[in-house]
Structure 1
Amino acid sequence: MRRSVTLAVAAALAAACSSVYVASTASAAVACAPAWSASVAYVKDNVVSRGGNNYTAKWWTQGEDPVAKSGQWDVWINNGACGGAGTPSPTTTQSQSPTTPSTGPTTPSTGPTTPSTGPTTPSTGPTTPSTGPTTPLPVGGLPRHALIGYLHASFANGSGYLRMADVPAEWDIINLAFGEPTSATSGDIRFTLCPATECPGVETEAEFIAAIRAKRAAGRKVLLSIGGANGQVQLTTTAARDRFVSSVSAIIDRYGLDGVDIDFEGHSLSLNTGDTDFKNPTTPVIVNLISAIRSLKARYGAGFVLTMAPETFFVQLGYQYYGSGPWGGQDPRAGAYLPVIHALRNDLTVLHVQDYNSGSIMGLDNQYHSMGGADFHVAMTDMLLAGFPVAGNTANVFPALREDQVAFGAPSSVSAGNGYVAPTGVQQAVTCLVKGTGCGGYTPRSGANPDFRGLMTWSINWDRFYGWEFRNSHEPFLNALN
């Protein structure tokens, strides 16, 4: 997503070479829990012993000594004295990682070319975790067909600022744009409300938090969207991975959010030469992102909402090209989201690819499709609902996602992004995907998909600017599909 008027992404241990660490949880026993280890990552309610006392983690932590970090504002709660010596007992679960190369075309492809025109300075803000243990997020369902939108919360542009309390109730998922890193490789994500000098009428933080609480009480989901066109996030090291988890957790806890949206664009994700199997990735930025999301999921439980908003270049282009290819020479970003989506498919709530600001992409009919009409939406979405061989290798197929995990993204207006499609065209595409009727020049290989999740748009702000065309057209249409 982009900020400018042109445009602004149950735990599974699927195939990826990353680890999730699980320690023993709280117990009523007075015996000492396993001894704290600086090398182990702990999540909320894990119990350790240190210096003759037991300690309970309030949130995700690694390398923070319980003796030194058990004050009122710190990560550990001192449970008091315990008897008996504890021994470290982390359990490491790691997937197998054979790396059978795939074969495919070696013609270099070109990457996304739409430049960002918005502010490039990462927002700064507090990342101190909330005090006290975090209550696991409640498990609550979305409507069968959801309306999803991005809210410009940390910046202003030509569409104007919209207070959280004024976001209409029809929006089922509200993605806060954006959490951005202090630097591309720090992993330290920051989020703060737009300053009043930039956004006249911005609410106070207390009012913002209260409005989020009210949205959630009404059954809506509010997520932190991380990245965007200006927020390059490259988790090149385990230290960056761990800082990503701790800083994102702090934001979720501070604002009372339901989860995260991964909107990594530009050069955030790319594949190292030789990393050719999406089922068993080896590139650090990929492996560390998967591990980080799993840690967040482990911390917040089954109620954690995870959405992703990749561009077509990082997903559907993988049908033709994957990374730099088996012999090098291709754009290493081609299809780079596929290993992340695959590894987290059992944790994924909704994948809504940005069907805009895109070049022509080959569909499963082996024809190129261009944005701006219903066929593009149908062809791109069908690839996720039917599955496809990666880089043309029929022995290495990206499996279909569940219908309820798939939506597609469309600009809310002509000012919001390239590839705007009028409501009738968007609804033609949805009808084709859901019912298998009214299709144009592309016939879905996946057939009818009655549980197709719905529509995402950039953005709620731009939709308001244009008189709520997207909301007013598509919310009743989606409801009528039920």
Structure 2
Amino acid sequence: MPRMRTALAALVGLVGLTLPATAAAAPEPAAPDIPAHALVGYLHASFANGSGYVRIADVPAEWDVIDLAFAEPTSPTSGRLEFNRCPAAECPNVETDEEFIAGIKAKQAEGKKVLLSVGGANGQVRLETAGARDAFVESAAAIIDRYGLDGIDIDFEGHSLELAPGDTDLKNPTTPVVVNLIAALRTLNERYGPDFVLTMAPETFFVQLGYQHYGGGSGADPRAGSYLPVIDALRADLDLLHVQNYNSGPIMGLDDQYHTMGTADFHVAMIDMLLTGFPLAKNPDNAFAPLAPEQVAIGLPAANPAGNGFTPVPEVHKALDCLRAGTGCGPYQPHGTYPALRGLMAWSINWDAYHGNEFAKAHDDY
């Protein structure tokens, strides 16, 4: 588990706002054995998506965390997850279940973590009731147990999360889809214990946009910032947050300037928000506290066709140099240096393999 910062001194003076002491971060437990500088990649386990099927045994050694994409619900509100392997008609080289499980065990023997990723662009998951919450827990656990997985990745997109009118208090959310997701993930974490790996991959719309707009009934899209109460409630159990710094519109940073995806400056601004903390809708009495650098990775497309906002390798390294050492920064100046920043996430292992494994090789060497 992550190492948390205990102070919010970096927030003092930020856009003229001071955060209250109640926003301080909680103590942190010990970390599972994910490398200090890790590469996280999604493996198309249930579809090919034009980039070809990669057998898990053939995943390059550079990837430290492998997210199996995706488990999806039987209906948006059922909570009951299914994880269907890619059919042979779509993936002619797909392995059998026995080979797949053996491949997972082999990767784990090499020190890799293999997680079940839930959601994706097509997997809307709305835990509106206690029944859906419980079905989510039991079905997720059944899949984790069947394949011997190390944990779960939450990749909720679309309309899975939102904040109902009046739900504006970060620490005390009331919207059922938010409250039930928090409870479900706590239950899974308690069931499997301290070695259980929990990661999340929200879009910028659900996280950093909360600096401008937060809370249902505010006049903005009720999904704006809606991941934040989930992240905040689970920060002591959260191993990695890799926000998708792609497929994003321009986002306002803590400098009150808009930043556009695909550049080093965008990644620096978006990551600095997570590591500095920020007031929601610029309200200093309702603040998201900083995460630890060990909890945060930069989410990227592995190749140009993989998603809007592809960032060339030199630009990614420029962002890392700025965030880790404070060197080579562009217009956005981060509020600290973060040498322990955990690493990079890519969508996806398949797209990277399709393009000669440039992402894995170049960034692992770095």
| Fold equivalence (TM over 0.5) | yes
Residue 404 of structure 1 corresponds to which residue in structure 2? 294
| Matching residue's letter, 1:359 | G
Which aligned pairs between 1:146-295 and structure 2 lie closer than 5 A? 146-295=38-187
Instruction: Give 1:193 deviation, angstroms.
Output: 1.1
| Matching residue's letter, 2:97 | E
Residue 200 of structure 2 corresponds to which residue in structure 1? 308
| Matching residue's letter, 2:329 | C
Residue 128 of structure 1 corresponds to which residue in structure 2? none
| Matching residue's letter, 2:48 | A
Aligned residues of 2:62 and 2:361 also touching (Cα < 8 A): no
Query: What is the DSSP-based 3-state SS (H/G/I as helix, E as strand, rest coil) of the residue aligned with 2:305?
Result: coil
Which aligned pairs between 1:22-171 and structure 2 lie closer than 5 A? 140-171=32-63
Instruction: Give 1:397 deviation, angstroms.
Output: 1.3
Q: Any gaps of 5 or more consecutive residues in structure 2?
A: 3-30
1-structure distance, mates of 2:188, 2:211 = 30
2-structure distance, mates of 1:456, 1:214 = 22
2-structure distance, mates of 1:188, 1:406 = 29
Query: What is the DSSP-based 3-state SS (H/G/I as helix, E as strand, rest coil) of the residue aligned with 2:91?
Result: coil
Query: What is the DSSP-based 3-state SS (H/G/I as helix, E as strand, rest coil) of the residue aligned with 1:174?
Result: strand
Residue 5 of structure 2 corresponds to which residue in structure 1? none
Which aligned pairs between 1:442-453 and structure 2 lie closer than 5 A? 442-445=332-335, 447-453=336-342
2-structure distance, mates of 1:408, 1:144 = 14
2-structure distance, mates of 1:148, 1:330 = 32
Q: Does 1:344 align with 2:227?
A: no
Q: Does 1:457 align with 2:346?
A: yes
Task: Determine which of 292, 295, 318 is the counterpart of 1:428.
Answer: 318
- How far does the alpha carbon of each residue in 1:27-72 deviate from its partner, in whole angstroms, 9 at most, with x for none? xxxxxxxxxxxxxxxxxxxxxxxxxxxxxxxxxxxxxxxxxxxxxx
2-structure distance, mates of 1:233, 1:245 = 12
Aligned residues of 2:48 and 2:90 also touching (Cα < 8 A): yes
1-structure distance, mates of 2:273, 2:201 = 15
| Matching residue's letter, 1:242 | D
| Matching residue's letter, 1:377 | H
| Matching residue's letter, 1:309 | A
Query: What is the DSSP-based 3-state SS (H/G/I as helix, E as strand, rest coil) of the residue aligned with 1:354?
Result: coil
Instruction: Give 1:140 deviation, angstroms.
Output: 4.0
Residue 357 of structure 1 corresponds to which residue in structure 2? 247
| Matching residue's letter, 1:166 | D
Residue 371 of structure 1 corresponds to which residue in structure 2? 261
Query: What is the DSSP-based 3-state SS (H/G/I as helix, E as strand, rest coil) of the residue aligned with 2:154?
Result: strand
Aligned residues of 2:124 and 2:159 also touching (Cα < 8 A): yes
Instruction: Give 1:324 deviation, angstroms.
Output: 2.9
Off by >3 Å, runs of 4+ in structure 1: none
Query: What is the DSSP-based 3-state SS (H/G/I as helix, E as strand, rest coil) of the residue aligned with 1:333?
Result: coil
Which TM-score applies when normalising by structure 2? 0.91
Q: Which moved more, 1:174-183 or 1:431-440?
A: 431-440
Q: Any gaps of 5 or more consecutive residues in structure 1?
A: 1-9, 12-138, 478-482
Aligned residues of 2:32 and 2:197 also touching (Cα < 8 A): no
Query: What is the DSSP-based 3-state SS (H/G/I as helix, E as strand, rest coil) of the residue aligned with 1:286?
Result: helix
Percent identity over the alignment is 67
Query: What is the DSSP-based 3-state SS (H/G/I as helix, E as strand, rest coil) of the residue aligned with 2:48?
Result: coil
Residue 332 of structure 1 corresponds to which residue in structure 2? 222
Residue 362 of structure 2 corresponds to which residue in structure 1? 473
2-structure distance, mates of 1:192, 1:168 = 23
Which aligned pairs between 1:11-30 and structure 2 lie closer than 5 A? none
2-structure distance, mates of 1:329, 1:170 = 45
Instruction: Give 1:262 deviation, angstroms.
Output: 0.2
Would the alpha carbon gap of residues 331 and 140 (structure 1) be closer, same or farther in structure 2, given more than 3 Å must change?
A: closer
Residue 14 of structure 1 corresponds to which residue in structure 2? none
2-structure distance, mates of 1:408, 1:264 = 17
| Matching residue's letter, 2:45 | A
| Matching residue's letter, 2:363 | H
Query: What is the DSSP-based 3-state SS (H/G/I as helix, E as strand, rest coil) of the residue aligned with 2:149?
Result: coil
2-structure distance, mates of 1:220, 1:238 = 34
| Matching residue's letter, 1:153 | A
Instruction: Give 1:395 deviation, angstroms.
Output: 1.5
| Matching residue's letter, 2:353 | R
Q: Does 1:380 align with 2:255?
A: no
Residue 321 of structure 1 corresponds to which residue in structure 2? 213
Query: What is the DSSP-based 3-state SS (H/G/I as helix, E as strand, rest coil) of the residue aligned with 1:455?
Result: strand
Instruction: Give 1:310 deviation, angstroms.
Output: 0.2
| Matching residue's letter, 1:150 | Y
| Matching residue's letter, 1:455 | L
Query: What is the DSSP-based 3-state SS (H/G/I as helix, E as strand, rest coil) of the residue aligned with 2:247?
Result: coil
Instruction: Tell me the C-alpha RMSD between the 2 structures.
Output: 1.3
- How far does the alpha carbon of each residue in 1:412-436 deviate from its partner, in whole angstroms, 9 at most, with x for none? 1110000011000001001111111
- How far does the alpha carbon of each residue in 1:104-151 deviate from its partner, in whole angstroms, 9 at most, with x for none? xxxxxxxxxxxxxxxxxxxxxxxxxxxxxxxxxxx8411111000000
1-structure distance, mates of 2:245, 2:148 = 30
Aligned length: 339
Query: What is the DSSP-based 3-state SS (H/G/I as helix, E as strand, rest coil) of the residue aligned with 1:154?
Result: coil
